[in-house]
Amino acid sequence: MMLNQFLLLAAALFCLGVYGVLTRRNGVLVLMSVELILNAVNINLVAFGAFQDNVMGDVFAVFVIAVAAAEVGVGLAMVLLMYRNRKSIDFSEVDMMKG
């Protein structure tokens, strides 16, 4: 298998994730698109790990998965808080950096 087929797949996934982050206004959907981006990175890590024939890529992919889990936990808590305070999870409405 070519290395590039994996890298290009990851690039396409990354771009779809970026598109989602830019166009979505629903907070939960923005977080989901961020997951797409993190997954694209994971595919790159594992593909390069297989290419170099060592386990470093796998180890880092596992770390990325752990960090993504933490990120989703905190992110959803923040979206929940926003919903409770404003009755809306529209990210384009939160443009004031005030408490």
Partner 1 sequence: MMGLAAMPLLAQATDTLTRSEFDLPENIAFAVIAGLMLYSAFRMVTTGNVVHAALYLVIVLAASAAIFILLGSDFVGATQILVYIGAIVVLFLFGIMLTKAQLGDDDSVENERRTMGALVGVLLMVVMTFALVDTFENTEITFSEPEPILYVPTEVQVGDLPTPVVEALQLPADAGAVTISQADFDGLDPEVQRRVPGAEVFGNNKQIADSIFSQYIIPFEAVSVLLLAALIGAVVVARKE
Q: Which residues bind partner 1 (CB under 8 A)?
A: 1-9, 11-20, 22-29, 31-33, 35-36, 39, 42-43, 46-47, 49-51, 53, 55-59, 61-63, 65-74, 76-81, 83-84, 89-90
Output 84 or 98, the one with its CB closest to partner 1: 84
How far apart are CB 44 and partner 1 at their closest, in Å? 10
d(CA 61, CA 66): 9
Dihedral, CA of residue 30, residue 36, residue 15 and residue 9, to nearest 10: -170
Closest approach of partner 1 to the CB of residue 99, in Å = 14
Q: How many other C-beta atoms lie within 10 A of the C-beta of residue 77?
A: 10
Phi first, then psi: give them for residue 26, nearest 5 degrees.
-70, 125
